[in-house]
Structure 1
Amino acid sequence: MTETKVRLGVVGTTWYAETHLRNIQSHDGAELVAIAGRDRDKATEVAARYQIPLVYTDYQAMIASGNIDAVVIVAPDELHLPITMDALDAGLHVLCEKPLATTAADARAMYKRAEAAGLKHMSYFALRTSMHHRYLKSLIEDGYLGPVYSAQFSLTHGFFRGDDYQWRFDAARGAGALGDLGCYVIDQARWYLGDIARVSANLRNTISRPCATGVPYQPANDSAVLAVEFVNGAHATMSTNVVAHQAERKQTNTVVLQGEGGTLELQHTFSGAVLRGARAYDDGFRTLKIPADLWEGVDPSNPGIVGQVHSVGDRAFIDAILDDEPISPSFYDGWKVQQVIETAFAANTSGSWESVPEDES
């Protein structure tokens, strides 16, 4: 690694990859030097927009070039394992988009390899960067709720209401709504309440999406409903849906936490967010405003730029490399989420509660 800056390469050229590019470029300790994409024209276009000097069509060539210290992976799920392993073997720090892998075994292997190599590793869950989610987390830690008894987590949008083929809903390539959105709410649940012990699940596919080539495939779910039981005894419901019309909200994430000391409710959408709370002695709910000092340079009217100002997400990854500090969420968190996803698939098949594997001693 260079003495003053972390040199980064990004695998992926989608609109979502550009969120990572903006976050990386905002950090004074980062140098965005390379991008890899299978379509050279598209990769060249993105590189020009962000003044990225090196363009690759083969991620392996970028990894082997010696030009980067770390890689950010924004590629389809089935590519996360091979890209990560190649990067770790080359001595690179890795940030990988959610879900970490397509199986719990692969996620565990990624975590173990990164730890053995002594490299920094982050499993990227974008909702953890949100100011409202972070403030909710701080309220829990400060004892607003006391012991939490029950909770509700949901994440819905309608971006895939059409019938065009999408790799996320091809069971050979993705885990459907459970993998694409479920990983967010499972991570939220673990972040707020701790590890999950048991899962019951019902998965549905409601829209037929024929493959353009005409080749039949096994469809993955576009709607998922889970009941979970935590190690600490709390329980919760979870739901994810990618075919739910959300109008001006675009996407809606709802979190309800009910505890001995009261209740907290967060509705987080693309058009705004509201956090409400009621202590056990309150007669009504009240809106909880994020304290001004917590915004730290972010205009509350433009919360979407938090990833370009605070040490969260990509910026936290860079900080951890520069300062040699641990990262959260790490590949460990990505592995634990993948275990719950896999357990939910088993529960859907069995029609009964299934236990999440415990860590090996």
Structure 2
Amino acid sequence: MENSKKIRVGIIGLGVIGERILNTFYKHPKTEIIAICDVVKERAEQISQKLNGVANYTDYKELLQNPNIDLVYVAIPPKYHHSVALDVLASGKHILCEKPLANSLQEAKELMEQAKKSGLVHAMHFPVYYTNAFQYIKNDVESGNIGEIRRIEIQTHFHKWPREWQQTEWIDGREQGGFVREVIPHFIQLTQALFGELEHIQSQLELPVDSEKCETGIMARMKLTDGTPVLVNGLSQIAQQEHLAFTIYGTKGTISLVNWTILEVGKYNEPTREKMLQLDNQPVDLITNIVNAINGDLADLIDFQAGYEVQKVLEALLQKV
């Protein structure tokens, strides 16, 4: 595809996650990065050099004035999503936003409403939804292979939080950081994508004495609309290697997504075993779906409406509503 037909991308925020998705955009045949922004000038200039000298800014509003940008990826801390994303929408550019959608339910609601009014493509970065592991889970649940769903469990255990590769001040803070905000939304989204609304949320947080620091543990119980229980077990600062699991227990089988990519399945009265998936069955990725949506083609996107639904659960888990 010629460069003129590619979706031209601007990126706001060049932290660990921002750079990771930047590389995905860079390698994608239908997108072209033409501008980047980070408040740390040296960081923006360094990444610009790696991208053959694309325009770089320290003020995102200057990036938004670039008329050639089609899509903006917002990869900044949650505290700033609301104001920046509103400005992106006001500029008439399509948007991909990091999770969580905002830093409060009211902010998320306003973003959802403005995104709908804009008529622009608006998407959330929930990449697990687009993996073949999740599609296998979805097919197994919808086909009835694991029988009646008895319970869903979300486990997020960390030997250290923030993790070694996440040493930024905000991610350790109670205002906008913590693993409940950073990790658990992925599993909330997967649960809602499979089963719909979550309700009757009861949450118990473990908080350090320092009121500036984020949670060190969470135990929560919620329900699907049919009454099926959903349990959350989160803990940090423990002598165990990081372990994440999204497990669905059924009357005919159990299926679990472990550490993002490992699929473990088991039938009635059998142990769970790792399921090797065929790579040629990989579903359409997030970036391709965004490109399709911008071009008016068929697309499957987790939009700001879904981001708002995740936020409702997240705020209840954090005992903010």
Q: Same fold (TM over 0.5)?
A: yes
Rounded Cα–Cα distance in structure 2 between residues aligned with 1:246 and 1:125: 26
Rounded Cα–Cα distance in structure 2 between residues aligned with 1:69 and 1:220: 36
1:102 partner SS: coil
Equivalent residue for 1:277? 266
Within the alignment, does 1:229 sit opposite 2:229 as a pair?
no
Deviates more, 1:82-91 or 1:227-236: 227-236
Within the alignment, does 1:340 sit opposite 2:313 as a pair?
yes
Q: Which aligned pairs between 1:92-107 and structure 2 lie closer than 5 A?
A: 92-107=93-108
Equivalent residue for 1:219? 213
How far does residue 311 in structure 1 lie from its aligned partner after superposition? 2.9
The 3 A distance-change label for structure 1 pair 156 and 191 is: farther
How far does residue 43 in structure 1 lie from its aligned partner after superposition? 0.5
Rounded Cα–Cα distance in structure 2 between residues aligned with 1:149 and 1:157: 27
Q: Name the amino acid aligned to 1:171.
A: R
Within the alignment, does 1:267 sit opposite 2:270 as a pair?
no
The TM-score with structure 2 as length reference comes to 0.89
Equivalent residue for 1:75? 76
Equivalent residue for 2:280? 293
How far does residue 205 in structure 1 lie from its aligned partner after superposition? 2.4
How far does residue 80 in structure 1 lie from its aligned partner after superposition? 0.6
CA RMSD of aligned residues (A): 2.6
How far does residue 118 in structure 1 lie from its aligned partner after superposition? 0.7
Q: Name the amino acid aligned to 1:195.
A: E
Q: 1:33–1:52: 8 Å Cα contact kept in structure 2?
A: no
Rounded Cα–Cα distance in structure 2 between residues aligned with 1:3 and 1:114: 26
Alpha-carbon deviations, 1:147-188, whole Å to 9, x = none? 31211111233342699883134333x152221222122122
Alpha-carbon deviations, 1:285-315, whole Å to 9, x = none? 44432135314xxxxxxxxxxxxxx632333
Rounded Cα–Cα distance in structure 1 between residues aligned with 2:160 and 2:135: 26
List gaps (5 residues or longer) in structure 1: 209-216, 296-309, 355-361
The correspondence for 1:205, drawn from 201, 204, 207, is: 207
The 3 A distance-change label for structure 1 pair 9 and 206 is: same
Within the alignment, does 1:193 sit opposite 2:198 as a pair?
no
1:188 partner SS: helix
1:266 partner SS: strand
The 3 A distance-change label for structure 1 pair 199 and 44 is: same
How far does residue 28 in structure 1 lie from its aligned partner after superposition? 1.7
2:318 partner SS: helix
How far does residue 60 in structure 1 lie from its aligned partner after superposition? 0.8
Deviates more, 1:130-139 or 1:227-236: 130-139
1:228 partner SS: strand
List gaps (5 residues or longer) in structure 2: none
How many pairs were matched up?
317
The TM-score with structure 1 as length reference comes to 0.79
Q: Name the amino acid aligned to 2:174.
A: A
Q: 2:13–2:75: 8 Å Cα contact kept in structure 1?
A: yes
Rounded Cα–Cα distance in structure 2 between residues aligned with 1:70 and 1:53: 15
The 3 A distance-change label for structure 1 pair 161 and 93 is: closer
The 3 A distance-change label for structure 1 pair 24 and 162 is: closer
Q: Name the amino acid aligned to 2:195.
A: L
Rounded Cα–Cα distance in structure 2 between residues aligned with 1:166 and 1:138: 40
Alpha-carbon deviations, 1:213-256, whole Å to 9, x = none? xxxx5433132221111112211111233434544xxx422122
Q: 2:162–2:171: 8 Å Cα contact kept in structure 1?
A: no
Equivalent residue for 2:48? 47
